[in-house]
Structure 1
Amino acid sequence: MTEHSIAISKTTSKKEKPNPTDLTFGEIFTDHMFILDYDQEKGWYDPRIVPYQPITLDPAAMVYHYGQTVFEGLKAYLTDEGDVNLFRPEKNIKRLNRSNERMCIPTINEALALQAIKELVKLDASWVPNAPGTSLYIRPFVIATEPYLGVAPSKQYKFIIILSPVGAYYKEGINPVKIAVENEYVRAVKGGTGEAKTAGNYASSLKAQEIVAEQGFAQVLWLDGLEKKYIEEVGSMNVFFKIDGEIVTPALNGSILEGVTRNSVIQLLKHWNVPVTERTISMDEIYQAHQAGKLEEAFGAGTAAVISPIGTLAWNGEMLEINNSKTGKISKQLYDTLTGIQYGKEEDRFDWIIQL
C-alpha cells in the first residue's frame, strides 16, 4: 500500500481522560482529529492530523442547506496484551465511497482513508478504554463546504475523522430490548438514499424514535416505504430472525444499509453451517411464526451494539414476546464470537482484524 504524507500537529494541552467504567456513547472526544480538504480544481488535498477543535464554515456552506453529507462508524478495541485492533475498516471505507457516489460527493482514496484512521488511532491510542465492553468509536464523515445557495453538488468538501471512547450503545447491553414496529412514518424507499449512510436518513427517523422512546421502547423496526408490510431494518441495526431453525434477514433492496456487522454475522452463520437466508420477509410472516411457536429468536446487528437480542416486538397493538424475553443461543454465540475476535480473545479465521 502506498503511504501518503499526513502532516501531524500534536496538541499542547491534552484533555483529562474519562473513567472507562462510566462511559456512555458519543459524548467525549479525544485529543486529535484528521482533516482532508477537497476543491474541484485540486481534488482531495492537504491530509493532516490536528488538535481536536471546532471547525469554521461559511453560513452559506451547502451542508447546512441541502444536507450533502455522509458518515461512517467503526471501532478500535484494546486487547488483554495491550494491542489495538481495528475490525474490518476497509469495509467501512468502501461503504463510505458508495455513500459518496449516491450523494454526488467525490470518492476518497481508500488507502489514504485507511492510513488516516490508523495514524489517528495510533496517536490517540491511550484513549482506547480498557473496561469490559468499551471501545474507541471512530467517526469518519464528509461535509459539503462551498458557500453557495444554488441546488447543485458542492465544489468543496471536508473529510474529517473524530474519535470517541464509548460504552454500550444500549443500556441493556446483551440483554434483550423492546422494539416497536413503525406503521406510520417512513424511513426510506428504493431509489432514495436508504442504502447510503447520510444524515438525512437519520433525521427522518427521529420523530418515530421519539414517540416509541416515550413508550419504553429502545428502537423502531422500519417497514418498507411503499406497502408498510415488509421488514427493512432497525434504526441503528440490521435485523435477523430465527424461524424454525433457519436464520432469515431482509435482502438488500436499495433502501437497506449494508451493514458490516450484518455481513460478518452471515459469514459466521455459514461457517457454522447454520441455515441463513437473505430474502423479503413480511411482518405478517413474523406474526404467524410467533403464533405457531416457530419464532425462536430475533436480534439486531450493528457496529454500535454488535448484537442486540430483541425480547419484545410491538405490532398492531400486540406485544410479541420472543424466547421469553431471554437472550437466545445464536444471539449469544454471535455476540461472544464477534467480540472475541474484536478484542483478540478468539482466533481470527476470516482475516478481519488489523492490529496497530
Structure 2
Amino acid sequence: MNAKEYNVLELFSGIGGMHLALKELGINYKIVAAMEINDMANRIYRHNFPSTNLMQKNIEGITVKQIQKLDPNMILMSPPCQPFTRAGLKQDVEDKRCMPLLHLLKLLPELTSVQYILLENVVGFEKSEARDQLVETLRSAGFKVQEYHLCPSQFNIPNKRPRYYLLAKRPGEAADFLQTGLQSQFPVDVLKDGDLLSQVHKKVLEKTEDAGKCFKIKEILEENPTSNNYLTFKHLKFFMEFDLVGKESRLSGCFTKSYKRYFLGTGSIFLEKFDGLSEIDTSQPDYHTTLTDKLAPRFFTTREILRLMCFPEWYKMPSEVTEKQAAAVLGNSINVHVVALLIGLLIN
C-alpha cells in the first residue's frame, strides 16, 4: 500500500488489536515497542506476538529520552476509557486513569520523530477536557487533526461498537484531511472497486450477499460451542430484556468487559432456535422453563466475538484464559478492521 516504513509505538497495547490492524493493512511496519500495564492483556499479547518488544510498563513513567531511543514515527493508542464513561463517573482529567494520557501530552512537543498518531476511545471522549488538551497540544506541535465517530456496522460488520477516533499527522506526510470537525462517515468509499482501502475491505464483503448490508451472524458461528456458554433457567429472569439475535440477524450488541458476568447491556445473547421466540408466552408464570428447549440461548463464544471484532483466525487465547477473562479483555479492545481502514486513511 505504501513503500514507507513505519516504526510504530503501540501504547495501551491491550491484547494487540492495533498490531493486528497494521498487519491487516499490509504496510511495511515495525512495532518498536508495545506498552501495557495489565498482566492478563500482556500474557495474551505475548502469546500471539512472541517476538514483539512488549513492555509491562506504567506509561506515566516513560520519558522523552526513552521514546526518542525507540525512534517511532507513528503512535497508536487506546487509553483507558473509564474516565469518560457513565460507569466511570465521567471524572475526566480528575480520574487517575487519565494520568498516563496527560503525561504523554507533556512529552509530545519534544517527540519530533512522530509523524502520525491514531487514538481510539469511547463516544463521549470528544466532550472531555482530556480531548481538548489533546487537540490543543497536537495543533500546537504542528499536527493536523481529524476526528470521527464510527461503528463497525458502517463497514458491513454486524456489530454495534461506536467509537471515537482521532487521526493526527504532520503537514506534508500524506494528503491533507478532506474534512473538518467531528465526522460520522468514513470519507472514502470502501465499496468502490480499485480503491486501495477497498482491497482491504474485500474479505468483509465476501461474507455478505448484499454489499449495502451487514453480513449475517451465521457467518461467524462456531459449529460446536462449548456447553458452558449455554444459559440455564437461573439466568433467564429478565430474558425478554436481553439483546436477542439469531443466525439470520445482521446486527449484534456491543460486547463489554462485563459480558458473561452480567446480562443486560453487556452484549447479545444468541438463540440457536430463533424462530421459536414467537412461541414463548411470557404471560405464563413458568414461561422460563420452556426457553432452554425451544430457543437454546447461549453466550457468543470467544472465537465468535473475535470474528465479530475482525481478529484473524490464527489469533488465539492462551489455554489458561477462561471465557470470562477473554470476554473482559475483548470488551476493552478494538475492531481491527475499522482501525486498519483508519490507519490507511491516515497514511495514504
As a proportion of its length, which structure holds more strand? Answer: 1
Both proteins in one fold, TM over 0.5: no
As a proportion of its length, which structure holds more helix? Answer: 2
- TM-score of the aligned structures, taking structure 2 as reference length: 0.26
- TM-score of the aligned structures, taking structure 1 as reference length: 0.25
